[in-house]
Structure 1
Amino acid sequence: MKFSMQENGFSGSLPFGDLMVSSDENYGFRPYQLLVASLAVCSGGVMRKVLEKMRMPAETIEINVKEVTRIEEEANRVAKVHLHFVLRGSIDEARMPKVMELTRKNCSMVQSVADSIEVVETYEIR
């Protein structure tokens, strides 16, 4: 990965395409948005695999970011992220605690921030 300074932020050339990052969301993704997106999508991808291995694949998984708490006094750092998963499919509710445990344990992004950001994960099955 390589990022280069631009007038209003930084651009990065990645294998899938260019990425614009800026503190002003009029010019690109804000860094905290990318952090939160990484937590959400990594968790969702792991959850999808866990459900498939448990032979109850989801028809759809939607991830709603319910809350992002930042601490202004500490460089506006992200302190808490609440991810809410909305699942559709033939999913056994009784097995969901194990699904949630395995998702958290195997998501590299959640594990990377485990000692610095509280990640709350909830779900509902529709």
Structure 2
Amino acid sequence: MNFKMKENGFETTFEYGTLQISGNEDYGFRPYQLLVSSVAVCSGGVLRKVLERMRLPFDDIQVSADVKRDEKEANKVTHIHLHFTIAGKELTNEKVEKALVVTRKNCSMVQSVKDSIEITESFEIKS
């Protein structure tokens, strides 16, 4: 990836479009938003694959992320709590808990930040 400096941030171009990145959200995605999005979407995508491999039918997965930052240390991200809302009729708490254990181990973004950012998860099942 190559990032080109612009007046109010940086940009990079991919096959599907241009990504604007800036410390000021008036001009693009803020870096911490991209970091949190990477963790949340990676986890959601891996969970989807795990549920499919477990042959557990589901209709939808939504992920919300609650972020804590430390203003005293460059406003760094210290904690991300992911809450998964999974719609499916044959899902049980036990099965989803097992799926999340596998998800955590196989999400490259969670594994990349696990020693510097605390990642926690919760879930709810909607039938």
Counterpart residue type for residue 11 of structure 1: E
Q: How does 1:34-113 map to 2 (within 5 A)?
A: 34-65=34-65, 67-89=66-88, 90-113=90-113
TM-score calculated relative to the size of structure 2: 0.95
Determine the structure 1 residue equivalent to 2:123.
123
TM-score calculated relative to the size of structure 1: 0.96
SS, match of residue 59 in structure 2 = strand
Q: How far does residue 93 in structure 1 lie from its aligned partner after superposition?
A: 2.4
SS, match of residue 25 in structure 2 = coil
Aligned residue pairs total 125
Aligned sequence identity (%): 55
Q: How far does residue 102 in structure 1 lie from its aligned partner after superposition?
A: 0.3
Q: How far does residue 92 in structure 1 lie from its aligned partner after superposition?
A: 2.7
Rounded Cα–Cα distance in structure 1 between residues aligned with 2:107 and 2:98: 14
Task: Pick the structure with more strand per residue.
Answer: 1
Deviations 1:64-110 (A, max 9, x none): 11x21111111111000111000001313221221110010000000
Long gaps (5+) in structure 1? none
Q: How far does residue 15 in structure 1 lie from its aligned partner after superposition?
A: 2.4
Long gaps (5+) in structure 2? none
Contact 1:11–1:21 at 8 Å: present in 2 too?
yes
Rounded Cα–Cα distance in structure 1 between residues aligned with 2:45 and 2:57: 12
